A and B are shown apart, each in its own frame.
Chain A
Amino acid sequence: MTFRIDKLGVLIVVLAIYGVLSPFATLKANRIVPGEGFDILEALPGGFGRLMLLAVVGGAAMALLRREALWRLLSASVVLAALFACVGLAAAYLTPADNSYARVSPASGFWILLFTFSLLATDGISRMNPRPSVRLLFLALAIGIVSVILLSGLWTDLSVMKEYAARADVFWTEASRHLLLALGSLIAAAVVGLPIGIFCERVPALRSAVLNTLNLVQTIPSIALFGIMIAPLGWIAANVPGAYAIGVRGIGVAPAFVALFLYSLLPIVANTVAGLSGVPRQAREAARGLGMTSAQRLIRVEFPLALPVILTGIRIVLVQNIGLATIAALIGGGGFGTFVFQGLGQTATDLVLLGALPTVALAFASAVVLDALIDMNAVAPPRKDTR
């Protein structure tokens, strides 16, 4: 263990200093006015401020002096846990007693420190280049820690959680709506797209026509496609007598679902074609030599070999759908976008966060899970170059 200065460490130290000097938490008189910033020592009761500073200094020193991946990950995790705990404590401490309008939210200093030490943790994990199962374990740990904090009530006084408390039932309705849109359209696209992909791989004449058409769909911006899906129903509303009166307008979940479905087709079809075309000829010949029928070859040989590439397509679709499902709110389709756009309309940042944070977390978690699945199914797991 040599003590030599690390370049990423220098960056971490600079960012950490900047983060510590910026306000840690903001106290606002109500949910929409700008607030007043407090730095770490002012925002936390008694010795907690000094403990938090100590954790930051220790983490930054680790980043500067120790290059071992495990140490970096551990020290970063300690600082992140301290940050999460302290932002809750700061909210409880700064909120004036019997003032139900005052809001405390994390300020720039908190976000900078969160970013800085997430960077250090990411560096640690990517240097360790862990096996897929270990990556899933890390994800489960992270989810566990956040759940414990949420359930413990440590964050109850944070403004985001106050926004949540004000609309807890709606939140879970919108959450399930969001999942229904993102996952449901993915499943529908997989059910339709896999056969199309298999068919296109067999019939090369069709391939470019199908892929070009699906490519064109992707060029239509998402809000427009969501809107255009209203068109068929809108036409009925305008032209079929009485249809408008009974409420046919195509606004809501259905057009959003169809739009997401159309966006999902291209990656699934294209990757199915690519995966199947990539099956080595020897494998096909060997299966044929064993006397397998065409269907047996497809299910037992070609499909398993193509699975990692197909899963990559599904990963792209899932992450993309979770993000795009936020747009559904613009056409009354619900989902987390509801809070984002309501928040933008009311200039209530905390409401935006209530919609944006779960979306980001959901997309991130799905990416980690599917990346792990892809690596587990790869014939020879692709290992990134480590140093």
Chain B
Amino acid sequence: MSRVTPTLLRALLLALLVTFLLAPETFEPLLRPLVQQNAPVIYAQGNLMSLTLQHLATVFAATLAATIVAVSLAVLVSRPIGAEFLPLSRSLVNIGQTFPPVAVLALAVPVVGFGEKPTLIALFLYGLLPIFENTLTGLTTLPRAVVEAARGTGMTGWQRLVKIELPLAMPVILAGIRLSVVISLATATIGSTVAARTLGEVIIAGLQSNNLAYVVQGGLIVGALAVLIYDGFSAVERRLAVRS
């Protein structure tokens, strides 16, 4: 029973989300009390489904780039050739996390202009940190015996990395990517303040026209996406952790 309930809840959440995106009018009576008479209830200046897909695409592109760069960097500083950069990279990760996303976003605008680009840059930079940190932790806390055994069987450094170290560190790396995606999903909404097409557009339209229904629907869609993606990643991590 207790094992089935969470799965059922998730399926229900997914069904609700898809229904809302495909036929938002069905939820109109629920949101109606949030607005004053005659005000529109469902965001109509843009299609909710296409905004959601655009939002996910932006997050996906930024996270993909961040994963490639962060994992490569972590691999580099955990090898002898990049070991000189290890103390510096740890401090940089610490400092980087103190930069507020709004500041990164706003400061990227003068360099690349309004639109998707500053959002992608901010999401990329912000996404780097958790992935880098987790990959580094995963690679530097491997059981010594396993690494030595791999060395003993005559594997080259590259073989050890690809066949032993990265697969063993994979659950921790995935946890970093999950963290990064969840942060990015929320941060992408702020991207709409610099004219990126994300679900933030709905929320900001609501704030500007004093329309609570907009704010709530935008916020809940992003929240539901974050919960579902978080759960999906957690399930994959558990499966990987069991296998290894």
Task: Report whether chain A binds chain B.
Answer: yes
Chain A residues proximal to chain B, CB less than 8 Å: 6-8, 119, 122-123, 125-127, 129, 216, 219-225, 227-228, 230-231, 234-235, 238-239, 244, 249, 319, 322-324, 326-327, 330-331, 337, 340-341, 343-344, 349, 352-353, 355-356, 359-360, 363-364, 366-367, 371, 384-387
Chain B residues proximal to chain A, CB less than 8 Å: 33-36, 82-88, 90-92, 94-95, 97-103, 106-107, 109-110, 182, 185-187, 189-190, 193-194, 199-200, 203-204, 206-207, 210, 212, 215-216, 218-220, 222-223, 226-227, 230
Q: Is the CB of B102 within 8 A of A337?
A: yes
- Contacts A126-B87, A219-B226 known; 12 new A-B pairs at CB < 8 A: A216-B223, A219-B223, A219-B227, A224-B216, A224-B223, A228-B215, A238-B33, A337-B102, A343-B106, A355-B106, A360-B100, A367-B98
- Contact sample, A vs B, 20 pairs, CB 8 Å cutoff: A6-B84, A127-B87, A221-B199, A222-B186, A222-B190, A223-B219, A224-B216, A224-B218, A227-B215, A227-B216, A230-B212, A234-B212, A239-B33, A323-B100, A337-B102, A344-B109, A352-B110, A359-B100, A367-B98, A385-B87
Q: Is the CB of A119 within 8 A of B98?
A: no
A8 contacts which chain B residues (CB < 8 A)?
Answer: 84-85, 88
Q: Is the CB of B190 within 8 A of A327?
A: yes
Shortest beta-carbon distance from B23 to chain A in Å: 22
Contact of A125 among B36, B91, B107 (CB under 8 A): B91
Q: Is the CB of B222 within 8 A of A360?
A: no
Q: Is the CB of B84 within 8 A of A356?
A: no
A349 contacts which chain B residues (CB < 8 A)?
Answer: 109-110
B34 contacts which chain A residues (CB < 8 A)?
Answer: 231, 234-235, 238
Contact of B100 among A220, A224, A326, A387 (CB under 8 A): A326
Q: Is the CB of A122 within 8 A of B92?
A: yes
Give the A-B contact count at a CB cut-off of 8 A: 168
Q: Is the CB of B33 within 8 A of A235?
A: yes
Q: Is the CB of A387 within 8 A of B87?
A: yes
Shortest beta-carbon distance from A324 to chain B in Å: 7
The docked-state distance in angstroms from the alpha carbon of A341 to that of B110 is 13
Shortest beta-carbon distance from B74 to chain A in Å: 16
Shortest beta-carbon distance from A377 to chain B in Å: 18
Shortest beta-carbon distance from A306 to chain B in Å: 22
B218 contacts which chain A residues (CB < 8 A)?
Answer: 221, 224
B212 contacts which chain A residues (CB < 8 A)?
Answer: 227-228, 230-231, 234-235
Q: Is the CB of B87 within 8 A of A384?
A: yes
A249 contacts which chain B residues (CB < 8 A)?
Answer: 210
A386 contacts which chain B residues (CB < 8 A)?
Answer: 87
B100 contacts which chain A residues (CB < 8 A)?
Answer: 322-324, 326, 356, 359-360, 363
B95 contacts which chain A residues (CB < 8 A)?
Answer: 122, 364, 367
The docked-state distance in angstroms from the alpha carbon of A222 to that of B148 is 47
A367 contacts which chain B residues (CB < 8 A)?
Answer: 94-95, 97-98
Q: Is the CB of B88 within 8 A of A223?
A: no
A235 contacts which chain B residues (CB < 8 A)?
Answer: 33-34, 212
With contacts A122-B95, A216-B227 known, is A340 near B102, CB below 8 A?
yes
With contacts A323-B103, A367-B94 known, is A344 near B194, CB below 8 A?
yes
Contact of A231 among B94, B102, B216, B230 (CB under 8 A): B216
The docked-state distance in angstroms from the alpha carbon of A356 to that of B194 is 15
Q: Is the CB of B222 within 8 A of A326?
A: no
Interface centre among B97, B110, B190, B194 (most CB of A within 10 A): B110
B97 contacts which chain A residues (CB < 8 A)?
Answer: 319, 367
Q: Is the CB of A224 within 8 A of B215?
A: yes
B106 contacts which chain A residues (CB < 8 A)?
Answer: 340, 343-344, 352, 355-356
Q: Is the CB of A219 within 8 A of B186?
A: yes
Q: Is the CB of A327 within 8 A of B223?
A: no
Q: Is the CB of B102 within 8 A of A227?
A: no
Contact of A238 among B35, B102, B103, B207 (CB under 8 A): B35
Question: From B190, which residue of chain A is reached at the shortest CB distance?
Answer: A223
Interface centre among A219, A225, A341, A353 (most CB of B within 10 A): A219
Contact of B203 among A122, A221, A234, A238 (CB under 8 A): A221
B36 contacts which chain A residues (CB < 8 A)?
Answer: 238, 244
B101 contacts which chain A residues (CB < 8 A)?
Answer: 323
